[in-house]
Structure 1
Amino acid sequence: MSALGSVQRIPHDRKILIIDNKIYDVTEFHHEHPGGSQVLLTHIGKDASDVFHAMHPESAYETLANHYIGDNLDSTRKGDDAVLPNKKLFTNDIRQLRDRLAGEGYFQANGLYYIYKFISTLALCFVSLLILCYYGQQSTMAIVLSAFLLGLFWQQCGWLSHDFGHHQVFRHRGWNDLAVIFLGNFCQGFALSWWKNKHNTHHASTNVNGHDPDIDTAPVLLWDEYASANFYGALSYTSNNSNNNNNNNNNNGTSTSSDTTSTTTASTDDKPELGPGVIDRFMAENVLPYQTRYYFFVLAFARASWATQSLLHLVTEGALNKATALRCYELGCLVLHWILFISATARWIDGLHNQLLFFVLSQSFTGYMLAMVFALNHNGMPVMTQEQAEAMEFFEIQVITSRNVKAGPIGTWFMGGLNYQIEHHVFPTLPRHHLAAVQPMVEAICRKHQISYHATSFIRGTLESLDALDVAQKVSRNWSRNPLRIVRRIISRLVFVI
């Protein structure tokens, strides 16, 4: 195909990406994208060069070439006018650093390090089950200790799966995916396909309202003003829509007999939309305005929630590549995970009370140890609209929306290296054990170009997350207590009764 003058000449029904001034049609491919469909859809019609290079191994270039349709002769990106020259210089310096690091071998994993991580992580599970096997029927303290170690094992499995999921270890994608299925699906109970679709989209559009799934936690938690406005606005819109439809139906009901036919048709075709769910209404009016009070309580349910989402994703959506074999393999690993966990609990613990204690504690410990770290990564950092994000450089977004946590060796081990969140988001395929060495280089470039680089302590970062929840809950309180909205809710209920 001949070179194209600009993106606008391509039919609107095609899904295209621009990478290194080449145009690629992913209309058919995005459903089979190994990293999930949604991550591609967030960059349709945009220059995705930096996000592509940041998240893909060299093997991806061959797949990309299959979807090439021409050159983008109009190399001016949409939104370039709004990008400050300093920000473009910042991007160029990050690109040069990436090339230098690649040349010096920083993107090559240390095999001995990951053998150690693999063995030491599995050892936590072995010790936990050993304690349960020998003392589970004798000591409640042994049950508590075993549950804690199992929770720590699941947390460390999460970090190790994360490394393999970003292709930090093996150069071949298939070997990384196999490791994720073993550590994630079988050992931890989280599905590869669910995680990749969600996490890769998060990396591509970090803290972008409407794109990043990690900040879309309504109706349980609202992290920013955008989320509050969207959630309450949607409830209000649906309620008003329902009221209008009910009024239209009442007016149609008073028509003359000559209009009977048209009235019947309207009543059948224009059925009123269902109003907001009872749960959403209850959360909006009674719970979300006080979310800082129950935040730490909710974290205990994080693992159970993600495990449930994993199972539902495979059942309803299938595997990432839509292959039946991968779907069945992932589902089989998830089912086997729960069979072994429940069997060990029932066999090695005496009494239903202690069995429930072990189940609840192991799930809750994991929830806290995972969610406390996740909350520090980005919550409380700037959230932007899609329009704002489009006018910004990719690396700039990654830096200003991420939070580093100052931690020693034990803290770094506990957080799986994610305390270097900024460096991880700038270079997602960089092996964990190189993040500490790269951190000063990235910070120096940010300081040079006056890009906000935020690093703080674990406690301070947690307080910043709570501050963000507090701001959002105040917005929620204003929405829920607005007199006009209260009147509208009363009228809505009266109309529904009548």
Structure 2
Amino acid sequence: MSTDVSPRRGSDFAELSRLVKQAGLLDRRTGYYVVCLVAAVAVLAATCAAVVLIGDSWWQLVPAVALAVVFTQIAFLGHDAGHKQVFTTNRTNAVTGLVLGNLLIGVGYGWWMSKHNRHHANPNHEDEDPDVDIAVLAFSLEQAERKRGFFRFVVKHQAWLFFPLLLLEGFSLHVIGAVPVARREVRAWRVEAALLVVHAIGYLTLVFSSMSPVKAVVFIAVHQGLFGVYMGCSFAPNHKGMPVLSAGHQLDFLRKQVLTSRNVTGGRFTDFLLGGLNYQIEHHLFPNMPRPHLRRAQALVRDFCRQRSISYAECGLFTSYGYVLKFLHEAGAPLRAEKVAV
């Protein structure tokens, strides 16, 4: 992997940006997103209608699974709005993000924006990326050594526990996103709080008025559990298993984004399944690039990197999960060695 610095590298990203702009890849695709938004809301409404029509039956597990997919697809659109990919004005994108995040899926938009912006600024940075500062996981030997108690046990076996832990991710997103709102730490906390309350009331009313309490609890467990798994499986391949940076690294913006990111290969179905996050390298280089342009940008960025001997990581979806699990297994190795030594 090439990380050395040459005199011309400070201008590499500027040169790549000119090529991208000349190709029109940063132009808005508002019509595309309007169709996606209308379709997402329509499918959400249809799924909720199915819950009402099915009534008190175990067949409710079918819309529970469907709703997990719908929630994740809506989250992808909220992600795009947060990056100002959807509309031309910041206000319209922000309102869209609030409606999609807080109202429709019950995840705090303000919290997510703050966290995600810090992630984009310093991806895979051990001290500055919140996505590699997770209590139940360790992404370096140093992080593993700092774990204590229950978290230390989990990190020892984190490769085996990774996918089961994702079953809790959906519930975690709701709670973690609501805490800054309750503490008034986000700018529009009143609006966010109101939308979260409306979501919670609407969701719980729909579920508990349509089926018995036992089935309602199972419905929520299946829906939120699979929502967390889908979300986690969409984001995990992007950076996990790629180089983890620390203070003092000498990478410029272009190399910092490319060398810490991984693309997932595949066709149009993969694009839909991962919400465009499979083009993670291009997305990190140009966060406001509309999703439908990422596929076209990939060939341009990949060729640009190869011409400059910059490692460009891409692999299939299941291969990427293998890399993630191997990385987590190795990060927890020192803690497992302690048990052997004893």
2:296 aligned residue (437, 449, 454): 437
| Structure 2 residues not aligned, in runs of 5+ | none
Are residue 372 (structure 1) and residue 289 (structure 2) matched?
A: no
1:338 aligned residue (200, 217, 226): 200
Number of residue-to-residue matches in the alignment:
340
Deviation at 1:172, TM superposition (A): 1.4
Spell out the pairing of 1:327-406 with structure 2 (5 A cutoff).
327-349=189-211, 351-388=212-249, 391-406=250-265
Give the secondary structure class of the aligned counterpart of 2:248. Answer: helix
- 2:202, 2:46 → 1: CA distance? 16
Spell out the pairing of 1:258-297 with structure 2 (5 A cutoff).
280-284=148-152, 286-297=153-164
Deviation at 1:283, TM superposition (A): 2.7
Q: 1:104 to 1:300 in 2, by over 3 A?
A: same
Q: 1:382 to 1:317 in 2, by over 3 A?
A: farther
Are residue 89 (structure 1) and residue 5 (structure 2) matched?
A: no
- 2:176, 2:82 → 1: CA distance? 18
1:140 aligned residue (32, 51, 58): 58
Are residue 108 (structure 1) and residue 27 (structure 2) matched?
A: yes
- The match for 1:98 is 17
Deviation at 1:471, TM superposition (A): 0.4
Tell me if the contact between 1:395 and 1:426 (Cα under 8 Å) persists in the aligned partners.
yes
| Structure 1 residues not aligned, in runs of 5+ | 1-81, 233-279, 484-498
Which has the greater radius of gyration?
A: 1
Deviation at 1:338, TM superposition (A): 0.7
Tell me if the contact between 2:12 and 2:254 (Cα under 8 Å) persists in the aligned partners.
no
Spell out the pairing of 1:80-479 with structure 2 (5 A cutoff).
84-85=5-6, 89-137=8-56, 139-141=57-59, 143-218=60-135, 220-229=136-145, 231-232=146-147, 280-284=148-152, 286-319=153-186, 321=187, 326-349=188-211, 351-388=212-249, 391-478=250-337
- The match for 1:496 is none
- 2:124, 2:61 → 1: CA distance? 37
Q: 1:83 to 1:316 in 2, by over 3 A?
A: farther
- 1:246-267 CA distances to partner (integer Å, 9 max, x unpaired)? xxxxxxxxxxxxxxxxxxxxxx
Give the secondary structure class of the aligned counterpart of 1:105. Answer: coil
Q: 1:204 to 1:480 in 2, by over 3 A?
A: farther
Give the secondary structure class of the aligned counterpart of 1:221. Answer: coil
- 2:291, 2:183 → 1: CA distance? 33
**Does 1 or 2 have the higher relative contact order (CA < 8 Å, sep 6+)?**
2
Tell me if the contact between 1:189 and 1:337 (Cα under 8 Å) persists in the aligned partners.
yes
Tell me if the contact between 2:144 and 2:155 (Cα under 8 Å) persists in the aligned partners.
no
Give the secondary structure class of the aligned counterpart of 2:312. Answer: coil
- 1:442-475 CA distances to partner (integer Å, 9 max, x unpaired)? 1111111111100000000001000011001112
- Taking every aligned residue pair, what percent have the same amino acid on both sides? 29
Amino acid at match of 1:436: R
Give the secondary structure class of the aligned counterpart of 1:387. Answer: coil
Q: 1:448 to 1:353 in 2, by over 3 A?
A: same
Amino acid at match of 2:302: E
Alignment root-mean-square deviation, CA: 1.7
Amino acid at match of 1:399: V
- 1:414, 1:347 → 2: CA distance? 31
- 1:119, 1:84 → 2: CA distance? 47
- 1:206-253 CA distances to partner (integer Å, 9 max, x unpaired)? 0011110001112x1112223213x24xxxxxxxxxxxxxxxxxxxxx
- The match for 1:13 is none
Q: 1:479 to 1:393 in 2, by over 3 A?
A: farther
Tell me if the contact between 1:412 and 1:419 (Cα under 8 Å) persists in the aligned partners.
yes
Amino acid at match of 2:265: K
Tell me if the contact between 1:108 and 1:168 (Cα under 8 Å) persists in the aligned partners.
no
Q: 1:103 to 1:298 in 2, by over 3 A?
A: same
- 1:425-447 CA distances to partner (integer Å, 9 max, x unpaired)? 01111111100001011111111
- 1:93, 1:287 → 2: CA distance? 42
Deviation at 1:97, TM superposition (A): 2.5
Q: 1:168 to 1:307 in 2, by over 3 A?
A: same
Amino acid at match of 1:327: W
> TM-score, normalised to structure 2's length?
0.95
> TM-score, normalised to structure 1's length?
0.66
Q: 1:188 to 1:199 in 2, by over 3 A?
A: same
Deviation at 1:365, TM superposition (A): 1.3
Deviation at 1:104, TM superposition (A): 4.2
Deviation at 1:482, TM superposition (A): 6.2
Give the secondary structure class of the aligned counterpart of 2:157. Answer: helix
Deviation at 1:126, TM superposition (A): 1.5
Q: 1:167 to 1:450 in 2, by over 3 A?
A: same
